[in-house]
Amino acid sequence: MDPKSYPRSQEHESRDSLEKLDQGTLELTLSKNTILHLVSKAGDIKYANDILAKHPSLVYHRNSGGETPAYVAARDGQVDILALMISYFKAKKDDIISLVTRSTDKHNALHIAIQNHHVGVVFWLIKEIPQLANSINDFNESPIYLAAERGYHHILNLILNMGGKQTFEGPKGKTALHAAAISGSKGLGVFGSGVLCTVGVGVSGVCVNVVFGTGKISSSNGKSPKLECITYLLKEGTDQHKRDKQGWTPLQYAVHHNNPLVSSELVDADPSIVYEIIKEDDINTSVVHIAAKRGYCETVKVLMNQCPGCSELLDEKGKNILHVAVENKQSEVIKFIYGDISYTSLVNKKDNDGNTPIHLLMASDLEMMEVAMDYRVNINAMNYEKLTPLDMASSNEKRKRLLEVHIFMLN
């Protein structure tokens, strides 16, 4: 940054600090930042060169947060300042990894550059210090995890293309695929943060021009950036069956957030994940049950269209997806199931208590009668207590309405 571009007070402050530094009278800020920390933040390459020439020891100084000037440069996207310091470390044969890592939590320059979406810094660090790509901080976050979590498909692809052994770890037992599924499910497409990168040679050895735009952006194949992250990770063979400490798979997060696009991408790569037994509310169930229970009809359609056999799945109480849809008054899901004749076997299926979905309807309100009734329903089916749906009706009004709707359906 040219000194003339500083506000006048900042330029004078920096010059005054340099004069005090020469005289040995410079005081640190409250956060124990030195003048080199401040210049690294501002991005003034001329002042940084002057300081390194006159007072090189400042490049090793850590502020109260355990941050070196090199870390600060990465945090604030100052790639030329960072390159200057790394060159100095290399010439001195210093431990570069340590000097770009925050001492308090092992959060390094690559971690913070990814989090702050400083694409130029990320590209440069991976080129110059590739071993950072597999570093884990004290939060158990890897660079791949952080990129996936934020939907930064260009950064993720860059790291994945490095080859070799790679680390996909994240906190609480999650992997990068968990992070991508959660991120993608919270909103496909990035608004107000479009990124176009061109790479060339500059002061730092690599110059990445970043153009920020507005509106929804997509990758070269038309997918949203967040969905593209999932595609990249699946191509790397990331384990979809791995569960986090909560016992959740990536697909479970996608279904939980009601994202049919993410669900479809995951299922397409490995349909077997739909049939896994998972836990919700301490009950063994399936992702299709969860979607039906919450009324996520489009997600239900994706799961059942891509895995037709999953319609026969039962939870630990013996309930199928029509049971849970009726029980939870999810009319759209009920209509979808009734609308496809291939799901006829669900209509009179009994759970562990012998109840059919229409038995459960009796605990619902009158408005659900017309939605949940169908000409295929057997209103005389008995549960294991020898009760029919009519017997379980809580009022004569319900009993009468059930018969009326049933007769209408038959006609």
| 329/327 Cα distance (integer angstroms) | 6
| 72/59 Cα distance (integer angstroms) | 11
pLDDT for the residue 8 = 43
Task: Write out the two tokens for 120.
Answer: 């130029």
Over residues 209-256, the pLDDT tens digits come to: 444 333 333 444 567 889 999 999 999 999 999 999 999 999 999 999
Over residues 61-70, the pLDDT tens digits come to: 999 999 999 9
Top-confidence residue, 188 or 68: 68
Say which CATH topology domain 351-410 has.
1.25.40
Say which CATH topology domain 267-346 has.
1.25.40
pLDDT for the residue 18 = 58
Domain parsing of the chain, residue ranges: 25-104, 267-346, 351-410
Task: Write out the two tokens for 20.
Answer: 């005090």
pLDDT for the residue 22 = 52
Residue 298: φ, ψ to 5°: -65, -35
For residue 165, the Cα-to-chain-centroid distance in whole angstroms is 22
- Whether 5 has a pLDDT exceeding 80, the answer reads no
For residue 54, the Cα-to-chain-centroid distance in whole angstroms is 46
Task: Write out the two tokens for 187.
Answer: 């909103």
Same fold flag, 25-104 and 267-346: yes
Over residues 108-144, the pLDDT tens digits come to: 999 999 999 999 999 999 999 999 999 999 999 999 9
| 181/232 Cα distance (integer angstroms) | 12
Pick from 197, 265, 263, 195: nearest CA to 235: 265
pLDDT for the residue 191 = 30
Mean pLDDT of 284-296: 98
Over residues 73-111, the pLDDT tens digits come to: 999 999 999 999 999 999 999 999 999 999 999 999 999
Beta-carbon contacts of residue 401 (< 8 Å; ≥ 6 apart): 366, 369
Mean pLDDT of 391-403: 77
Confidence tier at 30 by pLDDT (50, 70, 90):
confident
Distances (CA, A) of 336 to 4, 112, 241, 247, 371: 67, 46, 29, 30, 11
The helix or strand, by DSSP H or E, that contains position 47, with its residue range, turns out to be helix 45-54
- Whether 58 has a pLDDT exceeding 60, the answer reads yes
Q: Quick one: what percent of the chain has pLDDT higher than 70?
A: 83
Pick from 368, 367, 374, 388: nearest CA to 346: 374
CATH 3.20.20.60 matches 25-104: no
Lowest mean pLDDT, pick from 12-16, 20-24, 31-35, 202-206 = 202-206
